[in-house]
Amino acid sequence: MTFKKLFSQFSFAEIKPAFLNLWQTNEPKLVEHLNLDKWEKIYQNIQALEPTISQYYIRLGYRWENCSPIIDMNCSVYDKADNHRDCPVACYPSWPEIAGMEVMVEKHIVITPQELVAGLLWEITYFGGTEEIARKNMDRTFHGETE
């Protein structure tokens, strides 16, 4: 199933408990400051992405709890042609292309569809709530570039 189809299955209210659990587990000091109305808008914007065709797919190798995508590469983009990892989903530059990618979950992972969508929301917004903000934050993080 594609990223877009997964996101189309659930409202933000349906994934909110799993999303809050990720924050509580991974960023407990920040969870009480979350603006859930803002996150709902971000979620709806991601749901509205028009997917584009991609030569890549997403593979989830580990759940997100207590896992950093930059360190552990738990959720990454792989090339369909040779199954080589390209980068973490968090670092992939095109959100419409991500929306069109198939999502493959490793067989050993026990995860509900709502937890999967919450984790993919966590992943795609790791550097920011829009593609533009994420790109700027990645440039700042990896290349020291500022506006």
What is the model's pLDDT at position 71?
53
pLDDT score of 116 more than 70: yes
Q: Reduce the DSSP state of residue 147 to 3 states and report it.
A: coil
Q: What is the mean pLDDT of the chain?
A: 91
User: pLDDT value at position 139?
Assistant: 80
CA distance 30 to 50: 31
pLDDT band (50, 70, 90) for residue 146: low
Separation CA 104–CA 37 (nearest Å)? 30
pLDDT of residue 141: 76
Classify 37 as helix, strand or coil. helix
Q: What is the mean pLDDT of residues 25-43?
A: 93
33-47, 62-76, 99-113: which has the minimum mean pLDDT?
62-76
Query: What pLDDT does residue 70 have?
Result: 54
Whether the predicted pLDDT of 13 surpasses 70: yes
Segment 48-65, tens digit of pLDDT: 999 999 999 999 998 988
Report d(CA 127, CA 143) in Å as an integer.
14
> Interhelix angle for 113-124 vs 12-26, to 10°?
60
**pTM exceeds cut of 0.85:** yes
For the chain, what percent of residues have pLDDT higher than 70? 95
pLDDT greater than 80 at residue 133: yes
Instruction: Please give the backbone phi and psi of residue 7, each rounded to the nearest 5 degrees, phi first.
Output: -70, -25
